[in-house]
């Protein structure tokens, strides 16, 4: 049964996926589609140790496109894992967005990537 509530936009953007509760190991992926209520992320190299499971809380930081006259921004989401698919290929993780925030950054590449230590989650009221 399809549980989508919004229009999905096919966008392939780099992102980081981490667990604010340390439930799974941090990883780098690419969005496949995004809506107001969720997103689908493909992970080509999932962590060997701890992978996301259904119901896990996740922090997703998506690097938004920038250009000569557009400064870098990051889409910072607090989400819940609603599906994990590992059938013969890259791992696909579907997430339901709970909170969302746009972060202005001086240099999105440095502020959002590369992933070394996941930043602390900021809960948005």
pLDDT digits 0-9 by tens, 21-76: 999 999 999 999 999 899 999 997 776 678 899 999 999 999 888 777 777 788 99
**CA-closest candidate to residue 15, choices 32, 33, 35, 29:** 29
Lowest-confidence region among 24-33, 80-89, 108-117? 108-117
In this structure, the dihedral spanned by the alpha carbons of residues 42, 91, 55 and 27, taken in order and rounded to 10 degrees, is -60
What is the spatial distance between Cα 36 and Cα 38, in angstroms, rounded to a whole number? 6
Instruction: Compute φ and ψ for 108, nearest 5 degrees.
Output: -60, -35
Question: Which pLDDT band holds residue 102 (cuts at 50, 70, 90)?
Answer: confident
Residue 38, classed as helix, strand or coil, is strand
User: pLDDT > 70: what percent of the chain?
Assistant: 76
With bands split at pLDDT 50, 70 and 90, how would you rate the model's confidence at 94? very high
CATH architecture of the domain with range 14-110: Roll (2.30)
pLDDT given at position 48:
67
- The position carrying tokens 């493909």 is 42
Q: pLDDT: is 58 or 113 the higher one?
A: 58
């Amino acid at each position: 049964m399809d549980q989508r509530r919004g229009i999905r936009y096919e966008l392939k953007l780099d992102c980081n996926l981490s667990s604010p509760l340390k439930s799974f190991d941090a990883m780098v992926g690419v969005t496949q589609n995004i809506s107001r209520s969720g997103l689908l992320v493909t992970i080509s190299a999932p962590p060997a140790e701890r992978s996301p499971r259904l119901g896990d809380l996740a922090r997703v930081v998506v690097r938004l496109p920038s250009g000569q006259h557009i400064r870098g921004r990051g889409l910072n989401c607090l989400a819940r894992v609603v599906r994990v698919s590992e059938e013969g290929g890259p791992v696909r993780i579907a997430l339901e967005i709970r909170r969302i925030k746009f972060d202005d950054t001086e240099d999105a590449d440095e502020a959002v990537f590369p992933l070394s230590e996941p930043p602390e989650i900021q809960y948005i009221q």
